[in-house]
C-alpha cells in the first residue's frame, strides 16, 4: 500500500473519530453534571423542516429556587410530548440553566457518537488489513 493512501485513509478515519469523541464527551458531561431531577412543563414544540423530514424540539420550562428557566430539548421523532405536558428533566445544581431530558437528549448524542465511530473505524481497519496482508 502506498504511504500516501495509508495516511489518507487513517486521516479520514480520524476526521470521523474526533467528532465521535467530542459527542461522547458532551453526553458524559451532561449526565455527570446534571444530577438533580425535577419536573418541567412543555411550553411549545418547535419544528424544523429540513426538506425531506420534519424535526421536533420540545421547549420546556422549569423552576429552581424560585427562578424560571427555559431550555430546548434535542430532536424528537417519536413520543413527542404535547404542550402543557409534564416531563422529567435533569439539571446541573451548580448551573441550573444547563439541563437535559433523560432518554431523549442522551440518545441523540450516543447515537451520533456511535455512527461517527463506526464510520471512522472503517477506513482505519481497511488500512490496517491491507497493510498487514501485504507485509
Whole-angstrom distance, CA of residue 127 vs CA of residue 135: 12
pLDDT for 77 equals 64
Band of pLDDT at residue 129, cut at 50, 70 and 90: confident
132 beta partners: none
Whole-angstrom distance, CA of residue 93 vs CA of residue 24: 22
pLDDT at 75 over 70: no
Q: Which residue has the higher pLDDT, 43 or 29?
A: 43
State pTM to two decimals. 0.70
Band of pLDDT at residue 76, cut at 50, 70 and 90: low
Category of 58 on φ-ψ map: left (φ > 0), alpha (ψ -120 to 50) or beta? beta
pLDDT for 135 equals 67
Amino acid at each position: 500500500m502506498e504511504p500516501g493512501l495509508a495516511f489518507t485513509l487513517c486521516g479520514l478515519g480520524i476526521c470521523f473519530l474526533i467528532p465521535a469523541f467530542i459527542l461522547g464527551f458532551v453526553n458524559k458531561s451532561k449526565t455527570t453534571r446534571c444530577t438533580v431531577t425535577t419536573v418541567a412543563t412543555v411550553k411549545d414544540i418547535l419544528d424544523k423542516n429540513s426538506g425531506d423530514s420534519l424535526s421536533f424540539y420540545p421547549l420546556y420550562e422549569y423552576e429552581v429556587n424560585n427562578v424560571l428557566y427555559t431550555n430546548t430539548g434535542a430532536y424528537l421523532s417519536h413520543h413527542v410530548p404535547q404542550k402543557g405536558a409534564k416531563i422529567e428533566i435533569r439539571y446541573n445544581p451548580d448551573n441550573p440553566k444547563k439541563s437535559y431530558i433523560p432518554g431523549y437528549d442522551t440518545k441523540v448524542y450516543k447515537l451520533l457518537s456511535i455512527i461517527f465511530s463506526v464510520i471512522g473505524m472503517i477506513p482505519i481497519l481497511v488500512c490496517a488489513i491491507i497493510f498487514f496482508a501485504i507485509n
